[in-house]
Amino acid sequence: MPVLGFGTLIPDAAATISATRDALEAGFRHFDCAERYRNESQVGEALQTGLAAGGIAREDIFVTTKLWNTNHRPERVEPACRASLARLGLDYLDLYLIHTPFAFQPGDDQDPRDQNGHIIYDDSVTLLETWGAMESLVDSGRCRAIGLSDIGLKELLPIYESARIKPAVVQVEAHPYLPETELLEFCKEKDIVFLAFAPLGHGIRPGPLEDPVVSAIAARVGKTPAQVLLAWAVQRGTALLTTPRTAARARENFNISALPEDALDQINRIQTRQRLNAVVKTGSPGFIPQGR
Ligand SMILES: NC(=O)c1ccc[n+]([C@@H]2O[C@H](COP(=O)([O-])OP(=O)(O)OC[C@H]3O[C@@H](n4cnc5c(N)ncnc54)[C@H](OP(=O)(O)O)[C@@H]3O)[C@@H](O)[C@H]2O)c1
């Protein structure tokens, strides 16, 4: 998996196409998608035209997508994967993730709610049962690897211990305000890729992008705060996902270089702690466009 990943959580269809093309042109070869983002078709379209225009082979890119919460029942997993593949215009996935450990009421409504506005969960399926169906996708060759997202160490451990095919990747929020060190150490020990989303803190300000330690390092090494945060993520041993929406930002976010050791130490000593995305607590995504 290329460590620098381009995330496709972009609300607008036209912007999805242009940003994906720009990311490919800037050098990104790892694309993170999800059924829930409702734009797999646009990502697929941008990839098909981008690969053809750039003479890039399918094998040279790494494409991930994610199984949504309403498809956790084992019999729904393969059809959901097939549907994602059809939208993306691909015949295999490099990585398929269970988007969150929360099963929602199955059906076409991705956000099932009761009359009080509470999410309707599905208690009739366990995460391990869903994982079993994910393993079958590896057996059939539809997916090269499988993993989990928005999961903590406590929920990951039983899956890791019981799984026939171990999770290859864990995708979680991580940045200097949420380093997730314990999970990272576990992943390193077990050879699981720790894939950080929101490495720029979702772009929220104030946030890691405006942290005075990060800004001072950026000025010292002649890079932007975004480049400093992305370099820190790579140097601590994680892969990452970032979502530049313009060609200039795609080039900026791809053009990172190693920070000096003392800069890494300074960032590791930042004391602020902040989780920005509550999806890990409920399975309900914090940053998804609702209306389409
Ligand atoms: N598993 C999950 O539950 C989950 C949850 C969230 C995200 N993800 C995945 O992770 C990906 C990345 O997450 P993210 O979008 O939060 O990543 P991010 O890169 O931390 O944040 C993106 C935000 O940062 C801004 N930005 C990007 N490059 C910048 C730069 N060079 N300088 C200043 N600001 C910059 C963007 O601003 P503009 O909008 O102004 O360009 C955007 O608002 C998503 O696309 C998705 O694939 C997964």
Residue 106 CA, ligand 1 centroid: distance in Å = 29
Distance CA 27, CA 72 (A): 34
Q: pLDDT band at residue 286, thresholds of 50, 70 and 90?
A: low
Nearest to 38 by CA among 64, 79, 68, 62: 68
CB 81 within 8 A of CB 142: yes
Phi, psi of 231 (to 5 degrees): -65, -40
Q: Which residue is it, tokens 């330690």?
A: 213
pLDDT on residue 289: 40
CB 207 within 8 A of CB 276: yes
Residue 105 CA, ligand 1 centroid: distance in Å = 28
- 78-115 per-position pLDDT tens digit: 999 999 999 999 999 999 999 999 999 999 999 999 99
Cβ–ligand 1 distance for 244 under 6 Å, the answer yes
Give the 3-state secondary structure of residue 144: coil
Ligand 1 atom closest to Cα of residue 32? 47
- 139-165 per-position pLDDT tens digit: 999 999 999 999 999 999 999 999 999
- What count of other Cβ atoms lies within 10 Å of the Cβ of residue 167? 22
Average pLDDT, the chain: 96
- 14-64 per-position pLDDT tens digit: 999 999 999 999 999 999 999 999 999 999 999 999 999 999 999 999 999
Beta-strand runs (E) in 72-129? 95-98
Q: pLDDT band at residue 287, thresholds of 50, 70 and 90?
A: low
And the tokens for 117? 């506005």
pTM for the complete prediction? Answer: 0.97
Cβ–ligand 1 distance for 134 under 6 Å, the answer no
Cβ–ligand 1 distance for 4 under 6 Å, the answer no
Residue with the larger pLDDT of the pair 292 and 11:
11
Is-catalytic flag, 37? yes
Tell how many helices (H) and how many strands (E) occur in the chain. 11, 8
Return the best residue to mutate from 175, 209, 242 for the ligand 1 pocket (most ligand atoms within 8 A of CB). Answer: 242
Label the pairing between strands 169-173 and 193-197.
Answer: parallel
Ligand 1 atom closest to Cα of residue 97? 1
pLDDT above 70 covers a percentage of the chain that reads: 98
- 70-84 per-position pLDDT tens digit: 999 999 999 999 999
Distance CA 147, CA 34 (A): 13
